[in-house]
Amino acid sequence: MHWVPVAALSDNYIWLVADDEGNAFVVDPGEAAPVEAALKERGWTLRAILLTHHHADHIGGVSDLVREHDVEVYATDDPRIQPKNHFVADGDIVELESPKASFRVIAVPGHTRSHVAYYGEGFLFCGDTLFSVGCGRLFEGTPAQMLASLDRFADLPPETKVCCAHEYTASNIRFALTVDPDNDALRRRRDEVARLREEARPSVPSTLGDEFATNPFLRVDSDAIARWFAPQAGNVDDRVERFAALRRAKDTFAA
């Protein structure tokens, strides 16, 4: 499979994936024009669209793409996501004919209540649930829900490519260093991301292994996060409280 994160809007990535014959699918096309340009540049043909959640920066380009291409659109049964022609739900396997690929649907409520991720072919398309060194804001879910959603990624292979939907990594790292300052893997990631961004290159995809080593929201059970949490009001033994405190701290962090 060939893949590219197509930059869109202010800081979105639209993941575009194709086989050797140029049969392609996209994930979360928030706008159509950059997808059209990327397809044209490579001579690829769009065959399918996968959607993770209803926010405009993830579905804004779908109508235009559907008008121009003969595509199948996969999304959850949420009326806020239109247009679509295939409903997906937790545990479903999405079988694409062209490119030949299959993805497991993982329900990951938290950022929104109907958010899903797609796992398969070595990719995790996680929308705004998991970012590199961060996680999505809790617009429609509780900390307990979001933590349970992130926990569902723990069993996936560490080499899985984490294909998130935003370039937020540098500011996520600035926050992460305030809660996990002695983490060598995190410091290495900071240096790597600084280099990539200086060259105007994407900081993603990372791997799940990288994320479990550096992402504070996946490290709520680590000694480092317990140490950070300890001076605060709350039960240090409660991982949901630790997670909620992290998310609150990030919400008010001046990036």
Residues in contact with Fe ion by the rule CB under 5 A: 57, 128
Considering beta carbons, is residue 87 or 139 the nearer one to Fe ion?
139
Q: Annotated catalytic, 58?
A: yes
Q: Annotated catalytic, 57?
A: yes
Active-site position among 111, 115, 180, 210 = 111
Complete DSSP assignment for 171-186: HHHHHHHHHSTT-HHH
Active-site position among 54, 69, 115, 166 = 166
Among 128, 180, 210, 241, binds Zn ion (CB under 5 A): 128
How far apart are the C-alpha atoms of 131 and 195, rounded to whole Å? 19
Q: Which stretch binds Zn ion (CB under 5 A): 49-57, 140-148, 166-174, 232-240?
A: 49-57
- Residue 132 beta carbon to Zn ion: minimum distance, rounded to whole angstroms: 16
Tokens linked to 13:
């990535």
Binding mask 157-176 for Zn ion (x = CB under 5 A): --------------------
How far apart are the C-alpha atoms of 152 and 179, rounded to whole Å? 23
Which of 144, 153, 57 shows the shortest CA–CA distance to 104? 153
- Read off φ and ψ for residue 202, nearest 5 degrees: -65, 145
The option from Zn ion, Fe ion, none interacting with 36 (CB < 5 to 8 A, set by class) reads none
The answer to the question of residue 55 lying near Zn ion (CB under 5 A) is yes
Active-site position among 58, 92, 180, 210 = 58
Q: Which stretch binds Zn ion (CB under 5 A): 61-69, 98-106, 127-135, 236-244?
A: 127-135
Q: Annotated catalytic, 2?
A: no
Q: Annotated catalytic, 111?
A: yes
Q: Annotated catalytic, 128?
A: yes
Q: Annotated catalytic, 115?
A: no
Which of 175, 185, 192, 180 shows the shortest CA–CA distance to 248? 175
H runs (alpha helix) in the chain:
33-42, 56-59, 62-68, 143-151, 169-179, 184-198, 208-214, 223-229, 239-251
How far apart are the C-alpha atoms of 159 and 19, rounded to whole Å? 20
- Residue 221 beta carbon to Zn ion: minimum distance, rounded to whole angstroms: 26
Among positions 219-238, residues that touch Zn ion (CB under 5 A) are none
Complete DSSP assignment for 32-68: SHHHHHHHHHHT-EEEEEE-----HHHHTTHHHHHHH
Which phi-psi region, left, alpha or beta, contains residue 112 (left: φ > 0; alpha: ψ -120 to 50)? beta
Active-site position among 28, 92, 128, 210 = 128
Active site members: 53, 55, 57-58, 111, 128, 166
Residues engaged in binding Zn ion (CB under 5 A): 55, 128
